[in-house]
Structure 1
Amino acid sequence: MSKVKYYYDSETLSYRKIESKKGRKLGIILLSILGMFLSGFLLLLIYINLPYVETPKEKELKRELANMNLQYELLNKKMEQAELVLGQIADRDNNLYRVYFEANPIPEEQRKAGFGGINRYKDLEGFDNSKLIIATSKRLDVLTKQIVVQSRSLDEIAKMAEEKEELLAAIPAIQPVKNEDLTRVASGFGYRTDPFTKARKFHWGMDFTARRGTPVYASGDGIVSRADNTATGYGKHIRIDHGYGYESLYAHLFDYNVRKGQRVKRGDLIGFVGSTGRSEAPHLHYEIFKDNERINPINFYYGNLTPEEFAIMLQNAQQENQSLD
C-alpha cells in the first residue's frame, strides 16, 4: 500500500492530500526503463572491449613476456656465436692440429651426437612453451657435449705437443709481416682475378701489402734452401725448409737478410718487402707447402694472432678480389 503524502496550504491553513498524476508516473517508469537500457548498453560495451582493456597485472605480465622473448633471442645469438667459434676450432683441430701430430680426426657424428635412451626432458613437458624450452635445452646439451669432446681433444694434442716440441718450433706458425707494418691483407688463398690478364685463376698463397723495405720474418725454424731471383714470377724470394715436410716461400722481396744454407729461427729477420718479379705493387707473397703440396696459409697464424685478429684476417682473406701477382 502506497504512502499518502500531504502538503501544507497556507491559504486555508490546513494540510491537503497530494494527488498523484498518471502522466507523471508514466514518465518515471519510462525514465527508469531508459536508465536500465543505457546501463545495459554501457555494460555491453565494457564487456565487448574487455579483452582490450589491460589491468596493471596484465601489463606487468606482458612486459615480463616481452623481456623473456628478448632474453631468448639474445641467448640464441650467443649460442649461434658459440657454435660458430666451436665449429672453427673443430675444423682447425681436425685439419691442422691432429694432422700435425698424425692423429686420427674426430668423426663429425661423434662431435655432434645427441643423447639417446630415456627422455631427458620429460620434466619440461606440459608447459605453454614446452617445445621452445626443450629445443633450447637440447641445443645447450649438444653444445656442452661438443665442448667436452673438443676439450679432451685439445688435452690429447697438448700431450702430443710436449713430445714434439721440435716439430712445433719447425711448423710455420706466425705471420711473416707484423700487423702494425701491414697496410692490409690484399688477397687470400683461392680463386682471384689476375692483375695483369684480368682472368680468374687460382692464387696459391696470401698477399700482405706493406711499404717497400718492411721487415719479413721467418715463420718457423728451418734452413734457407733458396735465396735468389731465378724462379719465374717470384722475383727475389726465399724458401725455408722446416723439415717434417713443411716449406715456406717469401716472394717479391726488395732484399735478403739471409743466405742459402743458413739456419734460422722463428721470428728471425730474413728479408724486406719489395715488388720484384711479377708484381703490381709492394707486397709479400707468402706460400706454405706440406709434402710438396701448397696449402692455405690462413691456418698457420695461431702463434701471434688473437682470436679477434684471426677472425678479421679470415674475413679479408675470403674475399674474391684481385691479387697483386
Structure 2
Amino acid sequence: MKNKLIVTLTTVRGSRQYSLGQVARYLVIFFIALSAVSFFISNWLLVKTSDDLADLVEDHEQLNDQYEMMLGTQNLYKNELDQLSVSLSRVASQRDKLKAENIRMGDELYEGNNRIGELSATLGTSLNGLETLLNVEPTGDLSTERLESLTMMANQRLFMLNSIPNGVPIQAIRISDSFGMRMHPTKHKRILHSGIDYKADVGTPVYSTADGVVESAGNQHDGYGKQVVILHDFGFKTTYSHLNDIDVNSGEFIHKGQKIGESGNTGRTTGPHLHYEVRHLYSAINPAPFVAWNIANFDSIFTKVKSVKWASLKNLYPLNQIAQP
C-alpha cells in the first residue's frame, strides 16, 4: 500500500474503494494545488478589475461633465445672460425712474422709497450672480454702467468660446491616450502623439467644439481613416479622425455643438476611438487646456497656452471694447 492512494466514495448504495497509483496521486495533489492558486488569482483579478472599473466610472463622469459643458453650458449661459440683461435693464430703469420722480406725499414717498430699496436689492443680487458666473471680483457697484460692463464682458467671452475650440467633442468612455511623446502602437517607434484619444463605441456622436467651416471631410490615406477638419477663427483648426460616419461636407459652415459624424475604427488603429487634435497655424497644441476651458475659468487659457500670442487679441473688434489679456 506504500505507493497506493485509496479513495473511498460513499453513496446511498454503500461505500466503494478505489486504488490509485502514485502518478495519479500526484495528479490529484497538483489539481488541488492548481485550484487553490486559481482561486487566489481570480480573487486578486476581481479586486483589480473592480478598482479599474471604479477608475473608468470616475473618468466617464468627468468626461460627461466636460461634455455637458461643451454642448449645453454655452447655450445655457447665452440664454441666461440674454434674459438677465433684459431683466437687469428693466430693474435699473425702474429704480432710476423712481429716483427721478418727485414724490412729495408722505405715504407715497414712503412706498416709493421702499420700492427703490426692493429694486436695488434685486439688482444687487443679480449683479452679484453675474459676477460669480464670470468669476470676477465683486465691487458692490449697482450702477447701470456696471451692468453694461458685465453684460459686454459676458458677451465677449461667449464670442470667444464659440470661436475658439473648447470642451470635449464626444461623450466617451474614457481618455485612452493623451498629447505628448509615446511609443506608437502600430508603427512601433517613439513619436509625438499630436492629440487626445477618446475611447468610444463605434457610432458614438462626435460634435464640433467651435463655430467654423469644414476644410475637408472624407477618407484620409495617412492612417487617420475617415476624418473631418474644421477651420475656426483666429487661426485655429480641429481634426476628428477614425470616424465611422461623416455628416458634413467640405465648405459647409458649422456651429459649436453641431454633430459632424460618428466615432469608429477606420484607418490605422488598435481599437475604436476618436483622435481629436487642436492646431494653431498648422502647429499641434495640447488640447487639454482647451477641453477644460469655459466661461468661469476664462482667463486660464491665456496663461496655460503660451504658444499663442494672445496679447494682440485686445486690438481686435469687438474685443477692444474691454481690455483683454
TM range (shorter): 0.3 to 0.5
Normalising by structure 1, report the TM-score.
0.43
Higher gyration radius (CA): 1
